[in-house]
């Protein structure tokens, strides 16, 4: 698997412009998510990363252009950790079970649902935390719980909003490996990030966005001083370390 997407297109954005009210956030976006794709949408704050995620998700309609999606496409979305109230009175099990909302009418879980939740929690290494209150989890465990909830829907495409924002180094490492495993299993993954060295450089495919698509390709192709300047508006130096690009501030340029 290459991660750059070689299979059927799941969602295709053609000449899409999008925004809110009279404000345009994204212009002329041409981008497709295919089977076998593992893409990071890279850009600074306010560049339109989240707007792009919303377009893929279908929660935002384009102002112009067209979006086509594969029939009966199952999409799961993992929000940023800080978007929910962690004091909310539910356990890990109850949170993960929420994914089954559409299929069931009665409040309680069936034995089959209990087994499914236990299995997905086990897979993500938090099987023993099922009956803990969500506040009692560490940042990494909370991220795994959200992933478990997303995976319970058995999605073909997984969208994640800044999955490593605000988590420590080891959690970031864990999340990255977890996502790589899911991609190995055949899931298409698109995430947003502004973390160049910790996240973007380790992904198979990147799309650099700053209100329009500045560049797309492998990290080796797009993590260059020119593309980064076009994306972030600042000059940066790119070094190579064990075949992975490493970005450092260009202090001479800053000076």
Give the footprint of other proteins on this chain (CB under 8 A): 20, 50, 53-54, 57-59, 75-80, 83-91, 94-95, 97-102, 104-107, 133, 135, 149, 153, 159, 161
Q: Which is nearer to other proteins, 49 or 172 (CB)?
A: 49
Measuring CA to CA, how many Å separate 210 from each of 165, 226, 245? 19, 14, 21
C-alpha closest to that of 161 among 29, 41, 2: 41
Q: To the nearest whole angstrom, how small is the minimum distance from the Cβ of residue 100 to other proteins?
A: 7
Q: To the nearest whole angstrom, how small is the minimum distance from the Cβ of residue 155 to other proteins?
A: 10
C-alpha closest to that of 53 among 36, 70, 35, 67: 67
Q: Which is nearer to other proteins, 15 or 136 (CB)?
A: 136
C-alpha closest to that of 38 among 217, 238, 190: 190
Q: Which is nearer to other proteins, 21 or 255 (CB)?
A: 21
Q: Is the dihedral of CA 177, 182, 185, 190 positive or negative?
A: negative
Q: Which is nearer to other proteins, 159 or 206 (CB)?
A: 159
Q: To the nearest whole angstrom, how small is the minimum distance from the Cβ of residue 133 to other proteins?
A: 4
Q: Which is nearer to other proteins, 167 or 222 (CB)?
A: 167
Q: To the nearest whole angstrom, how small is the minimum distance from the Cβ of residue 79 to other proteins?
A: 5
Q: Which is nearer to other proteins, 142 or 224 (CB)?
A: 142
Q: Which is nearer to other proteins, 42 or 56 (CB)?
A: 56
C-alpha closest to that of 195 among 42, 4, 37: 42
Q: To the nearest whole angstrom, how small is the minimum distance from the Cβ of residue 236 to other proteins?
A: 28
Q: Is the dihedral of CA 179, 182, 186, 191 positive or negative?
A: negative
105: tokens are: 């009418």
Q: To the nearest whole angstrom, how small is the minimum distance from the Cβ of residue 16 to other proteins?
A: 17
Q: To the nearest whole angstrom, how small is the minimum distance from the Cβ of residue 32 to other proteins?
A: 20
């Amino acid at each position: 698997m290459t991660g750059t997407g070689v299979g059927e297109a799941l969602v295709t954005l053609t000449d899409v412009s999008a925004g809110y009210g009279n404000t345009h956030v994204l212009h002329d976006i041409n981008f497709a998510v295919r089977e076998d794709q593992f893409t990071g949408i890279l850009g600074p704050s306010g560049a339109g990363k989240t707007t792009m995620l919303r377009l893929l998700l279908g929660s935002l309609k384009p102002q112009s252009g067209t979006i086509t999606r594969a029939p009966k496409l199952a999409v799961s979305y993992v929000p940023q950790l800080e978007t929910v109230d962690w004091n909310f009175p539910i356990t890990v099990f109850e949170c993960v079970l929420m994914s089954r909302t559409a299929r069931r009418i009665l409040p309680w879980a069936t034995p089959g649902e209990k087994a499914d939740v236990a299995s997905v929690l086990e897979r993500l290494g938090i099987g023993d935390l099922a009956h803990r209150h969500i506040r009692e989890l560490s940042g990494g465990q909370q991220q795994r719980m959200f992933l478990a909830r997303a995976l319970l829907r058995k999605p073909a495409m997984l969208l994640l909003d800044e999955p490593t924002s605000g988590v420590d180094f080891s959690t970031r490492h864990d999340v990255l490996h977890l996502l790589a495993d899911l991609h190995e299993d055949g899931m298409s993954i698109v995430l947003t990030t502004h973390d160049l060295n910790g996240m973007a450089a380790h992904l198979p495919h990147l799309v650099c966005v700053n209100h329009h698509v500045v560049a797309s390709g492998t990290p080796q192709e797009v993590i260059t001083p020119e593309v980064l300047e076009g994306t972030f508006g600042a000059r940066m130096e790119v070094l190579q370390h064990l075949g992975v690009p490493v970005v450092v501030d260009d202090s001479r340029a800053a000076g």
